[in-house]
Structure 1
Amino acid sequence: MKRITKDTIELLAPVGNWECLRAAVANGADAIYFGVDKYNARVRAKNFQMDELPEIMAYLHKYNVRGYVTFNILIFENELSEARQLVHACIDAGVDALIVQDLGLVETIREISLDFPIHGSTQMTVTSAEAVEFLKPFDIEVVVLGRENNLKQIKTISDNSQLPIEVFVHGALCVSYSGQCLTSEMWGGRSANRGECAQACRLPYDLIVDGERKEMGNIAYVLSPKDLAAIELVPELIEAGVSSLKIEGRMKSPEYVANVVSKYRKAIDEYIAGRNYSPSKEELRELEQSFSRGFTYGFLRGTNHKALLDGTYPKSRGILLGRVKKVLKDAVLCEIQAPLKRGDGIVFDRGRPDQKEEGGRVYDLRKKGVKLEGEVLEGLIEIVPGRHDVNLTKVGIGDKIWKTSDQELERRLQKTFETERVYRLFPLKVKVTGKVGKPLVTHWFDEEADIAVTIESNVNLELANKRPLTTEFLMEQFGRLGGTIYELENVQLHVSGDVILSMKELNKMRREAVDLLIEKRQQPHIYMKNSDRTTENRAKINPNKAVSAKLISLCRSIEQVEASCKTDADYIYADFEFTKDYPEAVRITRQYGKLIALATPRIHMPGEQGVLNGILRAKPDAILVRNLGALQYYLDQNVDLPLIGDFSLNIANHKAAEMFLNRGLKRITPSYDLNIQQMVDLLKVTRIGDVEVVIHQHLPMYHTEHCVYCTFLSEGTDFTNCGRPCEDHRISLEDRVGFSHPVRVDVGCRNTVFNAIEQSGAEYVSDFLELGVSHFRVEFLEETGSKVKEVIQLYREALEGKRTGTSVWKTLKATNQLGVTRGQLVK
């Protein structure tokens, strides 16, 4: 199998089961991605089993389709051994690549094999050329960019990278940066970084502005984006340097896979052929029909917060037919704006998607009482729903009508994968040699798969009295390849004299050649394996001993910095919305003789190096690094300051911890995905003096490019015209149980939604001290200066053994936990 390169134009399809796999292959996917067992970002999908891998890869390679396994979650310390087993199984089965999030797992794969392909998952939060550069030592083959990168940024990254770039082009959008969403785990112990996203972004929220509830009409789904549909941008994406166009949807139906793959296949092929292509209205409608919350370009054409979401519904709707103009005894009158026919599914939308909606199948269509046959394209039509499907007394004038399903379309799509079908035939070349008294020797070349076989006749050639073998005759005989994956391109005949061989023998040779070629196609690729240096079960390296505990205060305002300086906090971190205030924070800490680290933004995009330089100009004592791009930038600048890795680097095992420490970090902060037992497992086998533990915080749940302030408090569409309402107002999102979650903006206009209730790990302080942890962090959000002093004093007393952890969290009325994920993956 040929690997993806920077010049490749690959169509990558999602697969959740065998039907989806066949649908993707039959409709022209160049590659597919799928999950195995529980270690992937869609654990609720059916997924495949490890023992199916050889069969899957043989099937795919028969049709020259690459197969990538998603291993795109964080791996906890006690799972490294099992993770290695899956890596070995993928290598042995000839999987074409693993899609990986966890950099500790990347290290593990490279210990096992130096040439097995690794793709950097979008969960890595790679959004800049610097972040791509950081991955270079691992020989990553492909990098999947964040969905928030626009076309201009994608081109910048591609132009400054030797790696193929992969971009999502269709399907559901996460409102949060992938790899940076902690919402599901906070509220339900179901981490998105562990494949268990509970889609909290699809829930309704009330907008609280400056403490008052804002009237929003029927807009309640303020974090629920529309679905991405970039089919019209395929030429621009390819010209921006995208090598792989990726479709989302491993939990979608095979009909969805068939529909979307076939449409994007056409768009790519038209571009390659040099033809101007624009999808027809019918093609766009069919894409909407399979699954759609409304379509958007996402951020590909740049930021337009108003276009990113609708806000009135969170789920797939299909195609908008129109609105109810009149309710009749057995029908509704509607000016339809899309084709409709008997048997189509419809739903009536009263603006309350959280409640049961009336809907069902169309029983009849009428115009002025006269029954209509076939499909109706437009006009004022009476729609007669099934009698037992819809209660028309619950349908009102003005209700939207959506076409939710199209049985005819579904049947057409099903036909593409009901039986094993070849999307395209592969060319064969044959070279034929021989002479009288010797066997006929045929060499068969399958150049696309880079394989060849040689077949000799079982009988010798004879002198031909009439009808000797000719090129034309062999083209006819060897070209009888119906029902196979091949078509004959040409035959080169090099024989001495006029010779003859029976058609029966020629046919047998053809069948044998095809069988051997397919067998060769299906053989797994052989990767190089090292002697497996297993290190996950190594001996304990951290002796229990008393340590001098350092207490660090992370502040989000000048008031908090000054208050922290008046305590015995050992270190101050500043994490401000507007980094222009960083010099003042440094000045204050200098005045009190305190050390200060300044935090980078959580995301680094092309062109944002100025923010990183501004941090250096403020002359801090250290930098709190929150993304791969910023880390690489400071490494490139040979910055002579301690670099401290924050939670957002998603360090969940000792392999990741060691990698970051070896690459230039002075200390690391474990991922917030770890609960107490997982944290202890990590600390026991990690350089404990280089680990910083957060023991108090408001968990940062969503981190998103979508600006709630711009969308709902401004007439503008982005930071250039929004008027910056974030400087004058404070927004919170109130959930269904009444908790109000603060929304804060950073220097890049990105929003973070923080959990309403702070979280305390005070009860575990003694455990950490016993293990040898010496750096403890408390984080503040909106606390006053006096509250900051109180909290620091409480934790100092806990660190010195003067107060119990239980006393601390009860006094603070905080949530008693550290980290939040346990989930179904932990026994």
Structure 2
Amino acid sequence: MKTELLAPAGSMEALKAAVSAGADAVYLGGAAFGARAYAKNLDEQEILSAIDYVHLRNRKLYLTVNTLLKEEELEEKLYPYLRLYYEQGLDAVIVQDMGVLKAVRSWFPDLDIHASTQMTVTGSAGARFLESLGATRVVPARELSFAEIQKIHRTTNLEIECFVHGALCYCYSGQCLFSSLIGGRSGNRGRCAQPCRLPYEAYDKDNHRMGEPGDRYPLSPKDMCTVELLPEIVKSGIMSLKIEGRMKKPEYTAGVVSIYRKYLDLYEKKPSRFHVLPEDMKKLYELYNRDGFNKSYYTVRNGRDMMALKNEKEQENKKKQRRNEQLFYEIQRDYIETEAKEPISGFLTLYPGQPAFLSAESGKYSVTAEAGMVEPAKKQPLTEERVKTQLEKTGETPFYFKELDVCMDDNCFVPMQTLNELRRGVSDQLVKEMTEPYRRKAAEKPEQEAKASGKPDQESRAEKKMELTASAETRAQWNALLEIPEITTIYAGMGCFKREIFEEQAEKGILQAKELGKQVYLMLPHVVREGDLKEYRDTFRCLKEIGLGGFLIRNLESFSFLKEMGMEKDIRLDYSVYTYNSRAQAFWQEQGVQRDTVPYELNEREIGKRDNTNSEMVVYGYLPMMVSAQCVQKNLNGCNHSYSLVRLKDRMGKYFPVKSYCTSCYSVIYNSLPLGLVKEADEIRSMHPAAVRLNFTIETLEETKEIAAAFAGTYCKGIAVPAEQEYTKGHFRRKVE
């Protein structure tokens, strides 16, 4: 399969520039549902035109629908939004939401679906699961290594698309709530305010400032540039090389595409001569960079060298460094002012007494046009050179004559208007012939479709008593929760039991909890990479046999791993396996999971409208705002190979705890204040969740015991407990954009 060079198109100008510079495909967003809502984006008519524009040049167009959709958006707006583009010939949609995947597969069964990097696919099991659902391509997490990508390539038939150039998120895509919780602008809704690019001070547990002088941007990665890794990228099984940058200008898009095109072609034609010239690296640097470049995560797990800690680019901008005007002039001249056209072959005949006749061919397509009558010349006859000059004025058409043969009488004449009419005739016919095969007819949207079960009546709701559950990440928190009689289920993080004697300790814990009338579920990591759970396969089976209730999972890889073990009915979904809408809920119910968790970004009105009878709702806890492969501890003070808790201080003086999960090598940034829905207990009861949950992450034993007892009193006994601690209500009272 030919390697594809995939370019961003934040505008029609950028799209045309990308095609001119050599992109094989473009991806763009429309008026809604794209992960770059603040890009210029294209309107409906522009997208319809863009679909034909790329197809006439033998390229492809993919539309981003890679946000989480709320109920009314999915049910009322998505079908008519996609239908026009589908019928025009859209090549694929890029999706994040399982409800969207389910709907698109039902409404447009022959439309390719690309699983967005927002799905956080981190291993081959998750990729295989998506393939079974009908996805044709996966865009795995940017944090994966070549070895992990190769495993996906070996074990699936999916096309693999990976980012090769542009901005890097600090967080695993799809796992970021920072912008949402701080400013109400959700990255999952395409409106990220990029708080990772702001300055922060970092402090260790002893309140010492971390890092070197000037390390003010601990969450800001450098831009990636992997042009020098193209041979390894192609060999790994990646077939689509994706350039990031829908928010950037056409000059950036064209410049980057042209250089990657040059070296991709060089490698494919003469792999032994592959070498990137310093002057081309300099051009990429001058187009845009953030403290230089990194080569992404393909060969490293994380590290200080990947980060723009000092933001030297900002300092350069303050000094008003001049850009390379010559470079931008050349890009403008070669790719923006010069539009890509398809070559055609033409054959013209001009003989007196006969109609002027022009045939044209492009690939397998052949058309003809005739116009007017050729007359004998009364004065000066037409010359072949004059005829060719006129016909080759293809102007705004998508074509140019690579070959043009003219067969004509030496003494003939036709008006220039006739030649223009011939040229327009063959051009219009070719456009129609070449775009018609892409046209499709969509079936009408079914009136009745299977979604999540409708809300149960009041009587059946009343029969179900709302449970109180809690999660623990440390042994101290575990011990505290065992003492709270109202808690029916404890979700035990893997860190509650020592890795060396994990099965032995977990078994004792399960039996201990059982004696106290409690059920235990294992809470699997926020991020699971290839092979992370392999050593626990037999352990999970053994623990299930002695009474383990099941698993609380946070990602597709965990679900798919357990599903392949036949344990999908033992699964509960945490907030990060999103169920924003009823179709997503229905999808996961069909997979056999026990429960989901109400997404953190839904507000009281939206939660009140959804069916929560198989959902848990978190009412206490420090909410995870970022899950990252990077580590503040390692990048600023060096890796200590053990659990660490540091704090980030923002410009407003707020402190955000950052916890390292060394066993799985990732870190989590938590909100500065814990969620605490205390006064809202009656309101939440009226929403009829199956359970409310307390999440404990950084609390001590005493804090855990005190908080758990207070919430148990409020939710299980109706006792109004004064909130001594300051809480946030998250999005409960605030709608996310």
* TM-score range normalised by the length of the shorter chain: 0.7 to 0.9
Deviation at residue 741 of structure 1 after TM alignment: 2.0
| 1:461-491 superposed Cα distances (whole Å, 9 cap, x missing partner) | xxxxxxxxxxx99x99999586565466789
Q: Secondary structure at the match of 2:216?
A: coil
Is 1:233 aligned to 2:146, yes or no?
no
In structure 1, C-alpha distance between the alignment counterparts of 2:452 and 2:522, rounded to whole Å: 35
Q: Which residue of 2 aligns with 1:691?
A: 615
State which drifts further: 225-234 or 140-149: 140-149
| Alignment map for 1:313-324 (pairs within 5 Å) | 313=311, 315=313
| Alignment map for 1:269-288 (pairs within 5 Å) | 269-275=265-271, 276-288=273-285
Amino acid at match of 1:627: N
Amino acid at match of 2:198: L
| Alignment map for 1:66-215 (pairs within 5 Å) | 66-80=60-74, 81-215=76-210
In structure 2, C-alpha distance between the alignment counterparts of 1:640 and 1:252, rounded to whole Å: 43
Q: Which residue of 1 aligns with 2:328?
A: 410
| 1:320-345 superposed Cα distances (whole Å, 9 cap, x missing partner) | xxxxxxxxxxxxxxxxxxxxxxxxxx
Match of 2:598 among 663, 670, 681: 670
Amino acid at match of 1:414: Q
Deviation at residue 571 of structure 1 after TM alignment: 0.3
Change (3 A) 1:640 1:111: closer
Contact kept, 8 Å, 1:479 with 1:487, in 2: the verdict is no
Is 1:633 aligned to 2:561, yes or no?
yes
TM-score of the pair, normalised by structure 1:
0.78
Amino acid at match of 1:220: R
In structure 1, C-alpha distance between the alignment counterparts of 2:114 and 2:244, rounded to whole Å: 16
Deviation at residue 274 of structure 1 after TM alignment: 2.1
| 1:725-769 superposed Cα distances (whole Å, 9 cap, x missing partner) | x34x43222222333322222322111111231102334432332
In structure 1, C-alpha distance between the alignment counterparts of 2:330 and 2:61, rounded to whole Å: 26
Is 1:571 aligned to 2:489, yes or no?
yes
Is 1:704 aligned to 2:704, yes or no?
no
Change (3 A) 1:442 1:409: closer
Deviation at residue 813 of structure 1 after TM alignment: 2.5
Deviation at residue 649 of structure 1 after TM alignment: 1.0
Q: Which residue of 2 aligns with 1:786?
A: 702
Contact kept, 8 Å, 1:644 with 1:667, in 2: the verdict is yes
Which stretches in structure 2 are left out of the alignment for 5+ residues? 375-383
Deviation at residue 17 of structure 1 after TM alignment: 1.8
| 1:65-94 superposed Cα distances (whole Å, 9 cap, x missing partner) | 322221111101132212222122322333
Match of 1:733 among 635, 643, 648: 648
Is 1:595 aligned to 2:519, yes or no?
yes
Deviation at residue 47 of structure 1 after TM alignment: 1.7
Amino acid at match of 2:654: F
In structure 2, C-alpha distance between the alignment counterparts of 1:549 and 1:78, rounded to whole Å: 28
Deviation at residue 244 of structure 1 after TM alignment: 0.9
In structure 2, C-alpha distance between the alignment counterparts of 1:426 and 1:98, rounded to whole Å: 26
Which stretches in structure 1 are left out of the alignment for 5+ residues? 1-6, 318-345, 348-356, 361-402, 461-471, 715-721
In structure 1, C-alpha distance between the alignment counterparts of 2:394 and 2:113, rounded to whole Å: 37
| Alignment map for 1:216-295 (pairs within 5 Å) | 216=211, 217-275=213-271, 276-293=273-290, 294-295=292-293
Contact kept, 8 Å, 2:210 with 2:637, in 1: the verdict is no
Contact kept, 8 Å, 1:100 with 1:119, in 2: the verdict is yes
Amino acid at match of 1:663: Q
Change (3 A) 1:616 1:673: farther
Contact kept, 8 Å, 1:224 with 1:314, in 2: the verdict is no
Q: Which one has the bigger helix percentage?
A: 2
| 1:160-201 superposed Cα distances (whole Å, 9 cap, x missing partner) | 111111000110100100000111111111111111112111
In structure 2, C-alpha distance between the alignment counterparts of 1:431 and 1:617, rounded to whole Å: 77
Contact kept, 8 Å, 1:543 with 1:771, in 2: the verdict is no
Contact kept, 8 Å, 1:697 with 1:758, in 2: the verdict is yes
| 1:580-621 superposed Cα distances (whole Å, 9 cap, x missing partner) | 455424422411322111122222322324255254455432
Deviation at residue 246 of structure 1 after TM alignment: 0.7
Contact kept, 8 Å, 1:113 with 1:527, in 2: the verdict is no
Change (3 A) 1:554 1:315: farther
Amino acid at match of 1:277: F
Change (3 A) 1:245 1:579: farther
Match of 1:560 among 477, 490, 505: 477
Deviation at residue 541 of structure 1 after TM alignment: 2.5
Contact kept, 8 Å, 1:78 with 1:681, in 2: the verdict is no
Deviation at residue 533 of structure 1 after TM alignment: 1.9
| 1:321-374 superposed Cα distances (whole Å, 9 cap, x missing partner) | xxxxxxxxxxxxxxxxxxxxxxxxx65xxxxxxxxx3x24xxxxxxxxxxxxxx
Contact kept, 8 Å, 2:492 with 2:523, in 1: the verdict is yes
Provide the alpha-carbon RMSD of the alignment: 3.5
Q: Which residue of 2 aligns with 1:421?
A: 339
| 1:785-818 superposed Cα distances (whole Å, 9 cap, x missing partner) | 33323322322233235234xx55x334221345
In structure 2, C-alpha distance between the alignment counterparts of 1:820 and 1:405, rounded to whole Å: 46
Q: Which residue of 1 aligns with 2:380?
A: none
Deviation at residue 300 of structure 1 after TM alignment: 1.3
Amino acid at match of 2:138: V
Q: Which residue of 2 aligns with 1:550?
A: 467
Match of 1:453 among 344, 367, 379: 367
Q: Secondary structure at the match of 1:234?
A: helix
Change (3 A) 1:33 1:633: same
In structure 2, C-alpha distance between the alignment counterparts of 1:535 and 1:785, rounded to whole Å: 51
Change (3 A) 1:308 1:621: same
Is 1:50 aligned to 2:44, yes or no?
yes
Q: Which residue of 2 aligns with 1:465?
A: none
Deviation at residue 9 of structure 1 after TM alignment: 1.4
Q: Which residue of 1 aligns with 2:294?
A: 296
Q: Which residue of 1 aligns with 2:692?
A: 776
In structure 2, C-alpha distance between the alignment counterparts of 1:579 and 1:704, rounded to whole Å: 23
Q: Which residue of 1 aligns with 2:2?
A: 8
Q: Secondary structure at the match of 1:743?
A: strand
| 1:481-532 superposed Cα distances (whole Å, 9 cap, x missing partner) | 8656546678999x9xx99997969997665333311233345822352331
In structure 2, C-alpha distance between the alignment counterparts of 1:71 and 1:17, rounded to whole Å: 17
Is 1:811 aligned to 2:724, yes or no?
yes
In structure 1, C-alpha distance between the alignment counterparts of 2:389 and 2:324, rounded to whole Å: 45
Deviation at residue 430 of structure 1 after TM alignment: 7.4
Q: Which residue of 2 aligns with 1:744?
A: 659
In structure 2, C-alpha distance between the alignment counterparts of 1:438 and 1:617, rounded to whole Å: 89
Contact kept, 8 Å, 1:672 with 1:820, in 2: the verdict is no
State which drifts further: 204-213 or 563-572: 204-213
Deviation at residue 60 of structure 1 after TM alignment: 2.8
In structure 1, C-alpha distance between the alignment counterparts of 2:354 and 2:394, rounded to whole Å: 30
In structure 2, C-alpha distance between the alignment counterparts of 1:240 and 1:706, rounded to whole Å: 23
Contact kept, 8 Å, 1:739 with 1:756, in 2: the verdict is yes
State which drifts further: 756-765 or 181-190: 756-765
Match of 2:530 among 603, 606, 611: 606
